[in-house]
Structure 1
Amino acid sequence: MRHTLPIAPQFYVTAPQSCPYLDGRRERKLFTALQGDQAETLNNALSKQGFRRSQNVLYRPSCTDCAACLSARIKVSEFEPSRGQRRVTRRNVTIERTARSAWATEEQYALFRRYLDARHADGGMADMDVFEFAAMIEETPVKTRVVEYRDSTDDALIAVCLTDILDDGLSLVYSFFDPDRMKDSLGTYVILDHVALAREVGLPFVYLGYWVPGSAKMGYKALFSGLEVYVDGGWQPLGDPEDYSNQTHPLSIDPIAQQVAQINLPDLRGED
């Protein structure tokens, strides 16, 4: 039996660019490649430390003068829907969920294009073509599903969520929905359904990506009870959203070398 030596992930930093969430700020990301036999182990470990997956990359915000982007997750055992969220569930009683393999379809792309054109026409994904869309869906080295939502009255595809299955939860990588059904609050419905799905399979968390205090785009995440955010190396209950205003102060930022040194890496040694 031969033991292989561990290969430590290499971390890199992107060049600063305009922040999509807070005006006048610059965005920078810390990232590492997600590949090989230990990809799932690394994804599980770093997701618990505020990282997110995008295709074959794990990343976390690492801005030079701002720490506003906080990884957020719902603790399923502590989630109780609000009155408004219960209304969303009742309003969408005809929706049926199907979890499929991570394979892109033309029907999904057509809905994706309608969603982008209506909601994010000037965003970073606005020019994504069908091949790039397929890569977003299919290039995954971990356990991933495409969760489709259809209206049972006409079998129309009305929402899609690309979802990673972690060892402790479901991670919503990216979701999109029919922009003509704004009154149905489909984005909220997808999150509520993932909480229900996590309960069904016994997973304790639903990872929502980043919550950004001060950003209207991300404010909806603070409306979910049982929400936790990753701050100073650990998860804590959200509490009062107003308490996080200091996250945008430049003195709250650790040097990049210190950030990397504080990452808790899993044992990636293999045997063959």
Structure 2
Amino acid sequence: MKTQKQHERTFSFEFFPPKNDEGAKKLKDTWTELAKLEPRFFSVTYGAGGSTQARTLETVLDIHKNSGVDAAPHLSCIDSTAEQMRGILQLYKDNGLRHIVALRGDLPSGMRDPGEFRYANELVEFIRKETGDHFTLEVAAYPEFHPQAPNALKDLQNFKRKVDAGADSAITQYFYSAEAYFRFVEDCEKLDINIPIVPGIMPITNYKQLARFSDACGAEIPRWIRKRLEAFGEDTASIKAFGEEVVTEMCDQLLKAGAPGLHFYTMNQAGPIKAIWKNLGLKPEPR
């Protein structure tokens, strides 16, 4: 089993931009709590076609100025021009940001032409050309393979293109099979991909929502987990307790085997993350 013990272990948390002032207040309460865990960075997602760009910037700047934690905006290139990207990068630089999660993004419904950038490697290459080493660049990785990839080898080659274009590290799509992650890391090392590949972790709190997300993004929920969750029906307390146990055990397995940290998809909630963090015995403890 290949591991990534040569890389420094880092932890990070992902949020989505709030839709209104009430959501913004709740999110601030969440990142205030999670900042106590002293993560490496907080990332903030970016809607398809830049639909939440304004909220992303507003949220990122609030976090950057007030949380004491590095903020990393997501930047997707679909439906964007080079001039627009140049302006966004300058805006981030002007506001002191030094960390970006660079993604292709999803093609909005009905769109045929993706714009000047077709793939994430082109965005990474553009950012490096425009800004040099100013930004730490994260890219996406898919241990269970991208749903639009024709085959596993093609998906690995596409990932390597992002790395060769200048990515510093990668965050994976969430998964519930540690073995899928370990095999992915092995395959990457055979292609001389040696950047940190941080597992993406999705807590289980709402089975119907999780099933919908997973079907859309190609993340597999193992049959035994699905069946257990289905059996709980509307018993949300049992779903959360079982989900916490399953995800904690997987995170423990990943870290013990040398995974270079964890990236939590928070769904803008602190509670599930703090519970898993405490179960794992990670420091600092939540206050």
TM-score per shorter chain, which class? Answer: 0.3 to 0.5
Please, what TM-score do these two structures have when normalized by structure 2?
Answer: 0.32
Q: Which has the higher contact order (CA 8 A, sep 6+)?
A: 1
Please, what TM-score do these two structures have when normalized by structure 1?
Answer: 0.33
Structure holding more helix per residue: 2
